[in-house]
Amino acid sequence: MTLATHAAAGLGLLAAPADWPLALGAIAVNQAIITGAGLLPRTTLLGPNLNRLPAAAIARREIALTIDDGPDPDVTPRVLDLLDAAGAKASFFCIGRIARQYPALCRAIVDRGHRVENHGDSHSWMFAAFGPRKMKADIAAAQATLADITGQAPRFFRPTAGLRNPLLAPVLAELDLALASWTRRPYDTRCSQPYTVYRRLANGLAAGDILLMHDGNAARIAGGEPVILAVLPRLLQSIAEHRLTPVTLSAALT
């Protein structure tokens, strides 16, 4: 759409130079739409984006728990214990540079039946402003790290906070990765109220939902405990009461 708009504007200027304000206006509107889309993590305007599980997974009453910003040496092991106790599987979007610090934790995630996915190497808040070369280098570095540590190449990528630009889709296609966002987001990196976080995830919970939580950078409740550890047991109980099955993203797409 962007290339077509720019091309049309260019041809219009050649045909009618006096109409340059209209051409520039069209380009400005197009750029505003593209920029705005990059600020919407769940949108598909910039390319394929898994924000809900496919029909086959919905028919099987599956949901996906996705857990970002780890591995965290204090939080991740306890999250794994809670998942094991509930018989639930999850996808952990791990940061490459953190994974290199705690490789045993990444291996433990996989050894316990979960998946490690790609959350970038730097987890830079400027990721959405990266050019294609820097973007590819950052994602590829994490991909190499996580594949080497776990023995499994990640299949999915999620950018920092889900923010991106139009250059990401071709980069992911080149790296054989799929973009994954979420259906439900509890803002648990800044909300320290367990009930609020739980309600944002559980109200209206349905088959096909992709839930986002954080083991790394989790907000802390009174007393200092990460909010995910206060919310996850109750959330897993609600999932069971709804007769839903938490699976990895990879399993949901089989």
Where does 125-238 show beta strands of DSSP type E? 156-157, 178-179, 210-214
Q: Which two tokens stand for residue 249?
A: 């993203």
Report the candidate in 46, 35, 49 with the shortest Cα–Cα distance to residue 157: 49
Q: Evaluate whether 55 touches 231 at the Cβ level (below 8 Å).
A: no
For residues 99 and 188, give the distance between their C-alpha atoms in angstroms, rounded to a whole number.
21
Which long-range CB contacts under 8 A does 128-132 form with residues at least 24 apart?
Answer: 128/38, 128/39, 128/159, 128/160, 128/163, 128/164, 128/165, 129/165, 130/165, 130/167, 131/167, 132/167, 132/170, 132/171
pLDDT given for residue 30 in this prediction: 40
**CA 185 from centre of chain:** 10
Q: Which two tokens stand for residue 203?
A: 């109200």
For residues 209 and 112, give the distance between their C-alpha atoms in angstroms, rounded to a whole number.
22
3-class secondary-structure state, position 212: strand
Q: Evaluate whether 200 touches 228 at the Cβ level (below 8 Å).
A: no
Q: What is the DSSP letter of 53?
A: -
pLDDT, one tens digit per residue, over 177-234 is 999 999 999 999 999 999 999 999 999 999 999 999 999 999 999 999 999 999 999 9
pLDDT given for residue 24 in this prediction: 42
pLDDT, one tens digit per residue, over 231-244 is 999 999 999 999 99
Q: Which two tokens stand for residue 19?
A: 């109409």
Q: Evaluate whether 185 touches 214 at the Cβ level (below 8 Å).
A: no
pLDDT given for residue 40 in this prediction: 84
Tell me the whole-structure pTM to 2 decimals. 0.86
For residues 82 and 146, give the distance between their C-alpha atoms in angstroms, rounded to a whole number.
23
pLDDT given for residue 39 in this prediction: 60
For residues 225 and 123, give the distance between their C-alpha atoms in angstroms, rounded to a whole number.
23
